[in-house]
């Protein structure tokens, strides 16, 4: 039996959420030693950016509407971004409740920046695609 494409994307989204939660809540000692910054940007901010960059793309592929109105697609993308903002804040709050992690607003900003970049790319693909 062949799975529908939406179900495959839903599985990918669940795996993605599991991976993000794992990375956000893992003990820092468990992580490998890396250089403290990349081009002057703290490496943990780069990690937060990269962790949340794929979210809008994966979520859009999972929940995109079946009809072809570009505005409907952009509205779904906006809702996905809003939900992602809540998820990013939730992961930071969870880190703040942990005894070995801390809440940092700069991490939240890096999460949002990653999602913004990805959402803009996705929106441009929606706008310039010939046929949805």
- Position 123 in a domain: yes
State the chain's maximal CA–CA distance in angstroms: 51
Which residue range(s) make up the domain with 60?
5-27+41-128
Structural contact between residues 81 and 57, judged by C-beta atoms closer than 8 angstroms: no
The beta strand positions in 10-119, using DSSP E, are 37-38, 41-42
Per-residue pLDDT reduced to its tens digit, 14-69: 999 898 888 777 776 666 666 666 677 776 788 889 899 999 999 999 988 877 78
**Global pTM value:** 0.81
111 in any annotated domain: yes
Q: What is the total count of domains within the chain? A: 1
């Amino acid at each position: 039996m062949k799975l529908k494409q939406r179900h495959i994307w839903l599985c990918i989204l669940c795996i993605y959420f599991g991976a993000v939660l794992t990375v956000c809540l893992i003990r820092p000692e468990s992580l490998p030693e890396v250089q403290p910054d990349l081009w002057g940007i703290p490496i943990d901010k780069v990690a937060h950016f990269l962790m949340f960059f794929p979210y809008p793309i994966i979520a859009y592929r999972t929940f995109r509407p079946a009809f072809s109105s570009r505005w409907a697609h952009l509205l779904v993308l906006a809702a996905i971004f809003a939900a992602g903002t809540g998820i990013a804040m939730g992961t930071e709050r969870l880190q703040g409740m942990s005894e070995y992690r801390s809440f940092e607003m700069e991490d939240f900003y890096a999460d949002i920046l990653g999602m913004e970049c990805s959402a803009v790319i996705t929106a441009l693909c929606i706008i310039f695609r010939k046929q949805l």
